[in-house]
Amino acid sequence: MLNLPACFFELFQQRHSQVCLKCGPSGKRQDNMSGLNNHRNCWPLVLVLWLLVPTSTPIPTKPNMVLIMADDLGIGDLGCYGNHTLRTPNIDRLAREGVRLTQHIAAASICTPSRAAFLTGRYPIRSGMASETEVRVLRWTAASGGLPPNETTFAKILQQQGYTTGLVGKWHVGVSCETRNDHCHHPLNHGFHYFYGTPLTLMLDCGNKHNQKAQALRATYWFCTRTLACAMLLLALGRLTGSLPISWKTVGCFGVCVLVFFVSWYSSHGFTRHWDCILMRNHKVREQSMVLKRTPSLLLREATSFIERNKQGPFLFFLSLLQVHVPLTTTRNFLGRSQHGLYGDNVEEMDWVVGQVLKTLDNEGLTNHTLVYFTSDHGAFIEGRIGDTPLGGSNGIYKGGKGMGGWEGGIRVPGIFRWPGVLPAGRVIHEPTSLMDVFPTVVQLGGGQVPQDRVIDGRDLTPLLRGQVPHSEHEFLFHYCGSRLHAARWHQRQGARLWKAHFETPIFSPEGAVGCYTRGLCPCHGKVARHDPPLLFELSGDPSEATPLSPASEPSFHAVVSRIQEATRAHRSTLTPVPGQLSGSSNMWKPWLQPCCGSFPFCGCQESAHPRDELSWHPLTSFLSMDLPVLDISHEWDHTLYVLLCLVLSLSIMCSRFVHIVACVRASLLFTAVLYSTVWMDHILFIPSSSDGHLGRFIFT
């Protein structure tokens, strides 16, 4: 009886007095003994009623938490969200055993700002992670921009609550600020005890894959650069011998132009793979450049190892998957298995990785004490392709995709929570929720407090997930594209209608397409359509945003638009100016910030099959055990060698006008030998020492 709610206890007392202590058949009141007998006969009724009363199961304290985020995954790519041609049994299992959200919204439609919002529970514009230019993500590992150190992540709060925190996979919110080793934006400075993964992101260059346009452009750039370098060398020799009536100043200016041209294109086309396609463990670079064909297995190894090492708990583990971002690196076992080409193969491998993590939880007996969450950072990249092969996924019935700040296809993502015994299995919620809601949800489940010194835009989802409240706490959600507010939605509680107003939309190209296929990614600024009054949709009846409403078709048009605009003004009044992290010099490559395995710029190493081994570099043994690589002018470094040789030789001729031609030739040969040996050393990747103490073999990239 002590566990009965007070209202039920009073009701029971009333019914007890009417049923158990009523007058007997003779019309006289029963004596105390007979009343006591009737009282005892009522216990079966009491027991039945008590079992029927809904009671709230207390939430276990400090559960383990596994947060899984896919990269560029479309909501239409999963079986539990309606895809019947891709096999995702493990993620579908999560949905069956947990709670599935159908209106789960990313705070941005592109990687860096979306992840910043996920980690902090705040719109990215509040932390400076919303760009004012068309460059909306961090482009370089050696950029100084990133998630500011004064931002508070859920990992930092849970770390203070005694959690062991780990991140495996993609980071993409910065590394260092002023020096290579300050690591101000690094995961370990944002609450994670352990990090293994890539500090930036995957890109086509990491897999040596480019679309046909990029390949042709790259070849053209190299041809032009070599031709210009050769021309400059001829000009210098012509001026030296007096056969060309030009000044040394002219030769020097021409050389500067060649150098500027070379640096301007090679900085984006040539260095990327070596500088940005790297793996780090904590603060150390473990692989540079990444060998993508084995990267998925390395990350899975680290993921399962982290769970096994910390099974005594509590732990927070963030698995930030590299799938399904280009270049869609897929292991041999999954190639050709799906009906959707390379992208489908990559999705099915991603599902298998999720299954291995769930299997580890099962094997360690952690399933019932672990909250598992699965999502994607934003919608599918619908414009991505190599030639005629699509590289992006499906956003289902939703319009648009990655990079489109307002359209549903860019921001509506999967959202699945599973916690056996605490969250109801098979529950589906159609209320508006956000990736930012994960922050207050996991903080409060872990025993922490949401910061009170800043605006937190996320809301605790626990009551909604458990069915204790009927509606989400989000009445309004705002959809940014960079620093531009493109759209806003209003969940009207009375009438349960869901409105969405678009203030700006990208102009699709070519005409008639639903995407920016000629550009590759839709812009936020400049080439966009501005709407006054805004485009208005009622998402409950038109989730595809196919038919905008008008005053003629919707009587409440003006009232709804006015209410959304009022909420937008109120939201903007809460914003305060902060330094931009993704614009200008904050997003430029800075050599002094470049993470390097070795001595910059001679960086290179390869991860061991044994994760705890240290990298070894023994140049003498390397020299004795390897043959000198054969010069191949088609190789990237040999192109560079050729250009640098022409530049330096021309400079030496300019500085020494009376050098004999034979001396010039000898100097050039000596310079070639020195430079070639330097480039050869930079080709070498060093493998960790084996467990028996013998040196492993060295290989070339």
The DSSP secondary structure of 404-443, one letter per residue, reads -SSSHHHHEEEEEEE-TTTSPTTEEE-S-EEGGGHHHHHH
Question: Does a structural domain hold residue 27?
Answer: no
Check if 111 is active-site: yes
Residues with Cβ within 8 Å of 191's Cβ and at least 6 positions away in sequence, in order, are 153, 154, 155, 156, 157, 158, 159, 165
Q: Are 380 and 409 in contact (CB under 8 A)?
A: yes
Q: What is the mean pLDDT of residues 151-159?
A: 97
Question: Does a structural domain hold residue 619?
Answer: no
**Is the model more confident about 218 or about 76?**
76
* CA 462 from centroid of its chain's CA atoms: 24
**Is the model more confident about 256 or about 67?**
67
Residue 226: which domain range? 212-269
- Band (pLDDT 50/70/90 cuts) for residue 635 is very low
- Band (pLDDT 50/70/90 cuts) for residue 7 is very low
Whether residue 372 sits in one domain with residue 321? yes
Output the average pLDDT for the chain. 81
Domain boundary among 563, 593, 623: 593
Q: What is the mean pLDDT of residues 240-244?
A: 76
CA 562/CA 111 separation, integer angstroms: 32
Identified catalytic residue from 80, 104, 172, 596 = 172
Q: Where are the alpha helices (DSSP H) in 573-660?
A: 619-625, 636-655
pLDDT at 133: 87
Q: Lowest mean pLDDT: which of 168-177, 229-238, 544-553, 676-685?
A: 676-685
Whether residue 290 sits in one domain with residue 225? no
Quick one: 214 exposed, middle or buried, by C-beta within 10 A (0-12, 13-18, 19+)? middle
Domain boundary among 559, 593, 627: 593
- Band (pLDDT 50/70/90 cuts) for residue 680 is very low
pLDDT at 270: 59
Find out whether the peptide bond into 289 is cis, omega within 30 degrees of 0: yes
Whether residue 137 sits in one domain with residue 69? yes
Six token digits for residue 326: 């280009």
Find out whether the peptide bond into 327 is cis, omega within 30 degrees of 0: yes
Model confidence at 52: pLDDT above 70: no
Query: Could you give the number of structural domains in the chain?
Result: 2
Six token digits for residue 518: 């000629």
CATH value at residue 398: 3.40.720.10
pLDDT at 393: 93
- Strand, helix or coil at 501? strand
pLDDT at 652: 60
Whether residue 289 sits in one domain with residue 255? no
pLDDT at 511: 86
Q: Lowest mean pLDDT: which of 203-207, 380-384, 510-514, 563-567?
A: 203-207
Question: Does a structural domain hold residue 390?
Answer: yes
Q: Which helix (H) or strand (E) holds 700?
A: strand 699-700
Check if 172 is active-site: yes
Whether residue 226 sits in one domain with residue 159? no
pLDDT at 641: 57
Question: Does a structural domain hold residue 17?
Answer: no
DSSP string, 75-110: GGGSGGGT-SSS--HHHHHHHHHSEEEEEEE-S-SS
Residue 553: other Cβ atoms inside 10 A = 11
Model confidence at 28: pLDDT above 70: no
Q: What is the mean pLDDT of residues 344-368?
A: 97
CA 589/CA 271 separation, integer angstroms: 10
CA 298/CA 294 separation, integer angstroms: 6
Whether residue 229 sits in one domain with residue 301? no
pLDDT at 79: 96
Question: Does a structural domain hold residue 22?
Answer: no
Domain boundary among 593, 625, 657: 593
* CA 122 from centroid of its chain's CA atoms: 16
Percent of the chain with pLDDT over 90: 58
Whether residue 219 sits in one domain with residue 194? no
Model confidence at 631: pLDDT above 50: no
Question: Does a structural domain hold residue 326?
Answer: yes
Four-CA torsion 679, 680, 683, 686, nearest 10 degrees:
-130
Question: Does a structural domain hold residue 255?
Answer: yes
Whether residue 383 sits in one domain with residue 334? yes
Whether residue 255 sits in one domain with residue 396? no
- Band (pLDDT 50/70/90 cuts) for residue 679 is very low
pLDDT at 352: 97
Q: Are 172 and 321 in contact (CB under 8 A)?
A: no
Q: Where are the alpha helices (DSSP H) in 20-75?
A: 32-41, 43-52
pLDDT at 39: 46
- Strand, helix or coil at 473? coil
Q: Lowest mean pLDDT: which of 39-43, 177-181, 234-238, 333-337?
A: 39-43
- Band (pLDDT 50/70/90 cuts) for residue 281 is very high
CA 37/CA 65 separation, integer angstroms: 53
Q: Is 62 left (phi over 0), alpha (psi -120 to 50) or beta?
A: left
Model confidence at 688: pLDDT above 60: no
Q: Are 157 and 446 in contact (CB under 8 A)?
A: yes
Question: Does a structural domain hold residue 220?
Answer: yes
Four-CA torsion 283, 286, 289, 294, nearest 10 degrees:
-130
- Side chain identity at residue 583, one-letter code: S
- Band (pLDDT 50/70/90 cuts) for residue 496 is confident
The angle, 0 to 180 degrees and rounded to 10, between the axes of the packed helices 295-309 and 341-363 is 20
- Band (pLDDT 50/70/90 cuts) for residue 239 is confident
Identified catalytic residue from 80, 111, 522, 646 = 111
CA 428/CA 446 separation, integer angstroms: 24
Model confidence at 698: pLDDT above 50: no
pLDDT at 212: 45
pLDDT at 685: 33
pTM listed for this prediction:
0.78
Q: Lowest mean pLDDT: which of 28-32, 174-178, 405-409, 415-419?
A: 28-32
Model confidence at 183: pLDDT above 90: yes
Whether residue 257 sits in one domain with residue 388? no
CA 574/CA 398 separation, integer angstroms: 30
Q: Lowest mean pLDDT: which of 79-83, 462-466, 471-475, 594-598?
A: 594-598
Q: What is the mean pLDDT of residues 211-226?
A: 67
Residue with tokens 């939430």: 59
- Strand, helix or coil at 123? coil
Whether residue 386 sits in one domain with residue 240? no
Whether residue 360 sits in one domain with residue 335? yes
